[in-house]
Structure 1
Amino acid sequence: MPAAIGVLQTLGILLISLLMAHRGLGRLGVVTGAIGMVSELLRPVLGWAYAVYGLLLFAWLIWVAAALWRQARRP
């Protein structure tokens, strides 16, 4: 049975990404959220393939951090 927090986290990523102004980052977030929802629901079945979601999540978080850093440094 998938953990509720995992499914809610991926839903949050999906919703946040739909509101992003940055197209590339928003698209990556939507893909990450969608794959994450499926991955969380099928976690026991996927096995090692679950790592694909983990890599996408890591990439999305790094990109979000970089975008926020650039935004904060603007005058």
Structure 2
Amino acid sequence: MIEIPEADYCYGLGILRMRITAMTVTPQEVPRLEWIRLIGVPLYSNEQEGPEREALIRVEALRQHPPKR
């Protein structure tokens, strides 16, 4: 699960909480990459899951907020 601040992802409001189901590439594969496309299931504040979606996230944000297991 990731928690990404609003300023570090595109097309959404508030903190993005998402369970990742797929990643196009990993930040380690392309170290100079600025943005990465993740696919996952959003987790809402009421603990409900939303439909699977894509999210464009700053790689630096993933380094600062690594996925929790």
Q: What range is the shorter-chain TM-score in?
A: under 0.3
Higher relative contact order (CA 8 A, sep 6+): 2
The TM-score normalised by the length of structure 1 is: 0.24
From the two aligned structures, give the one with the greater strand fraction.
2
Bigger proportion of residues as helix: 1
Larger Rg: 1
